[in-house]
Chain A
Amino acid sequence: MKSSFKLALGLTSAIAASTAVSNAAHAEDLTLCWAAWDPANALVELSKDFTKETGIGMKFEFVPWTNYADRFLNELNSHGKLCDLIIGDSQWIGGAAENGHYVKLNDFFDKEKISMDDFVPATVVGYSEWPKNTPNYWALPAMGDVVGWTYRKDWFSKPELQKEFKEKYGWDLGPPATFDQLKQIAEFFQKRQIDGKTVYGASIYTERGSEGITMGAMDVLYSYGFQYENPKKPYEMEGFVNSEKSVKGLEFYKALYDCCTPPGASNSYMGEGVDAFKSGQVAMHMNFAFTWPGLQKDENVGGDKIGYFVNPKGPDGDQFAQLGGQGISVVSYSDKQEAALKYIKWFANKDVQAKWWSLGGYSCLNAVVKDPKFPASQPYAQTFLDSMAIVKDFWAEPSYAPLLQASQKRFHDYVVAGQGSAKDALDGLVKDWTQVFQDDGKM
């Protein structure tokens, strides 16, 4: 009886102790919030090393891209404690900084000797700084990303197609250097029969609900000469947003949509683009670089069948690309800020960043991307580097959401629905954006 009692007592104590230990461990668990996509899976894998090193467990809250902004901006606005760390979109930085959602990291960087000079400059400006181009840091560049293009190398190298293309356009079929060339290639492939299947020219961004068509159209507009504002007078947009060059750029994007996209591609973004390319529907595919590792590995279209090229040049030789990607921030409402900062310190480490790249994430650390071995490390590495050198980003103002909604509406109305002219769309955009800045008291 005594021994049974002792056994029961022992078992109870053991269970209680293990529960306490487990609770203590759970109390230290960090929750990292991000979008549900391939790099997030790579981060889960990578973070196992952090848990091994520090004993701090990692939990993840991943939300599909279509709900990503809604979900996490709601969480931040309601001062929620769900996320200790957040990998927030580059355009959130202004709002998150001004509304106190993110912890300012300057003191921490100084203390831990993390220098922003060690990161690719465009990613520091894009993901970390607010106000832009000032040394006020709210995030560590985490996932470099940029819009670029993939193409079907196997189709491009078919001798009969090369011959026909040369006869028709007078230049060799290959990755386009200019947008005019890109359109010629897209027209050439549109509704062509290849291997017994009808294929189409290109998959481009046309999505209406979140940010798709803006990311796509801007990718073209930048290289055509679009500017957000007068460089000498902030927020003066008349003649810059709706300049003649911008109008030409938007007309080009519509022409590309009308001539050369697959049927029904009126609401296409990252996922739909990947599907179109993977299913062998399109010759070229506009998408963020994060999709490239997955496509490279794809059995049907990857390996030797896929090629990559940087966003082409505009008519005047200007060449820019839309910045994607995100920085990692500590949420100011988290009770575990110390542990969260430990994660950031660990993540900034060179070896961790090198592993991050090898797992499919895009490191922003100079030591990784400027390594002589980097360009040859993956077939898309050089295109990624070249693209990151020419990036531009959308407004990152605290009012980025209404600014984005306005461009989504104006671009979709013109490009997809064919309402009005490109000039009307851009004039309307100037009007909408002016209203937003007036409401903010900035004009």
Chain B
Amino acid sequence: MLNRTAENVARATPEPLARKVRGISDKGLAWLFISPTILLLLAINIFPLFWAIYLSFTNFRANRPNEVVKNLGFANYQRILGDQDIWIAMQTTAHFVFWTILLQTLIGFTLAWLIDRKFRGHAFWTTLILVPMMLSPAVVGNFWRFLYEPQIGLFSYVISFVSGIPPTSIQMLSNVSLAPWSIIIVDTWMWTPYVMLICLAGLRSIPEYIYEAAEVDRASNWRQFWSITLPMALPFIMLAVLFRGIENFKMFDMVNLLTGGGPGSTTEVASITLKRQAFESWRTGYSSAFAIILFVAVFGLANIYVKALNKVKQR
């Protein structure tokens, strides 16, 4: 049937076109098919990357197109690496990435482990847990900003009810100590389900017969968890950590919506600093250099991590 259709198509193809197609090798045809994608990738990914690398060595400013562009060599890079504010932003980013990943992994894995028990109504609970992940970050940011509002926010009232502290004293977004945690809480609330899903896939991939063999050997539940569940789910957990790590390293939307980097610069993560330099101060060359440094940092760390992940998988 399929052959007959192919024959019909071949017969219906006009001769000049058929002659041309006949002249193309399989490899040529393959290139023909993937070339639009490659061109698109070159245009929207590779070219901007090289262009940004070029700009990072200049004093170019996008808001002054008529000005002469000077080559500054590595001056932008030197200035960034010696800028105390940039290092503070990097520390803030590291603090945010560390705590969000730790909390999301712990809670996500625990939830996945519980869901994997297949208790009554587990499908319903799985769907319910996944809801935050399905929301837009813009919605979540605005929604939590209202929840954190000291005078009318539900979060403040709940904490006040539990702790006895007046709600107006619970200023999650204005207090220097609480503001970083307010973002960590929201990010954990939103993305723990994602970690849970990946961990669940890992737990479900463990063959049942391994547990049966462990039962035969009279291994305790604790022993089974440490010797079977955790090692076999570890590559999945590490994958979730990798995804969340990369995402949170470049986190922008949630921080921008919740605190805008404030109070002061308490929650100013690297992406907020980058945006301010690029699109508010219009230091295009300088911000390109900063973007390249961030890219190299993420790329380098991710590479080391992927190698570690492969080692774990091979074990």
Contact = CB atoms under 8 A, between A and B. Distances in A.
A419 interface: yes
B65 A99 contact: yes
A208 B260 contact: yes
A263 B265 contact: no
Given A77-B62, A401-B63, A405-B280, A266 B174 contact: yes
Interface in A66-110: 70, 73-74, 77, 79, 95, 98-100
A384 to B, nearest CB: 30
A412 B174 contact: no
A402 interface: yes
Given A95-B63, A263-B171, A417-B264, A402 B279 contact: no
Interface string A409-435: 100111011110000000000000000
A196 interface: no
By size class, the interface of chain B is 20 to 34
B59 A439 contact: yes
A405 B279 CA distance: 11
B270 to A, nearest CB: 15
A385 B202 CA distance: 71
B132 interface: no
Interface in B177-212: none
Nearest to B264: A417
Contacts of A360: none
Nearest to A425: B264
Interface in B139-181: 149-151, 168-169, 171, 173-174, 176
A54 B266 CA distance: 54
Contacts of A409: 85, 264-265
A267 B260 contact: yes
A416 B263 contact: yes
B163 to A, nearest CB: 16
Q: Is the interface of B mostly helix, strand, loop or mixed?
A: loop
Contact of B173 (A73, A264, A402): A264
Nearest to A439: B59
A88 to B, nearest CB: 13
B57 to A, nearest CB: 15
A415 to B, nearest CB: 8
By size class, the interface of chain A is 20 to 34
A77 B280 CA distance: 13
Given A401-B280, A412-B264, A77 B151 contact: no
Contacts of A135: none
Interface in A258-306: 262-267
Contacts of A98: 64
A31 B149 CA distance: 39
A99 B67 CA distance: 8
Contacts of B262: 208, 266-267, 412, 416-417
A239 interface: no
Contacts of A208: 260-264
Contact of B263 (A198, A404, A412): A412
Nearest to A404: B280
Given A73-B63, A264-B150, A266-B171, A418 B176 contact: yes
B281 interface: yes
A402 B283 CA distance: 8
B281 A401 contact: yes
Given A263-B171, A264-B149, A266-B174, A413 B260 contact: no
A209 B259 CA distance: 9
A73 B169 CA distance: 39
Nearest to A100: B66
Contacts of A418: 176, 264
A121 interface: no
B24 to A, nearest CB: 41
Interface in B58-109: 59, 62-66, 85
A198 B168 CA distance: 11
Contacts of B151: 262-264
Nearest to B85: A409
A266 B281 contact: no
B260 A416 contact: no
A70 B150 contact: no
Nearest to B268: A409
Nearest to B280: A405
B265 A417 contact: yes
Interface in B35-76: 59, 62-66
Contacts of B281: 401-402, 405
A289 B259 CA distance: 27
A263 B173 CA distance: 11
B113 to A, nearest CB: 38
B276 interface: yes
Interface string B275-299: 0100111110000000000000000
Interface string A367-399: 000000000000000000000000000000010
A413 B276 contact: no
Contacts of B63: 73, 77, 95, 99, 401
A44 to B, nearest CB: 28
A79 B259 CA distance: 33
Nearest to B172: A264
A77 to B, nearest CB: 5
Contacts of B276: 405
Interface string A305-329: 0000000000000000000000000
Contacts of B259: 267
A262 B171 CA distance: 11
Given A413-B265, A414-B264, A417-B264, 17 more contacts: A70-B279, A99-B63, A208-B260, A208-B262, A208-B264, A263-B150, A263-B151, A263-B174, A264-B174, A267-B262, A401-B282, A402-B281, A402-B282, A404-B280, A417-B263, A418-B264, A419-B264
14 contacts: A77-B65, A95-B63, A208-B264, A262-B151, A263-B150, A263-B151, A264-B171, A266-B171, A266-B173, A267-B174, A412-B262, A417-B176, A417-B265, A439-B59
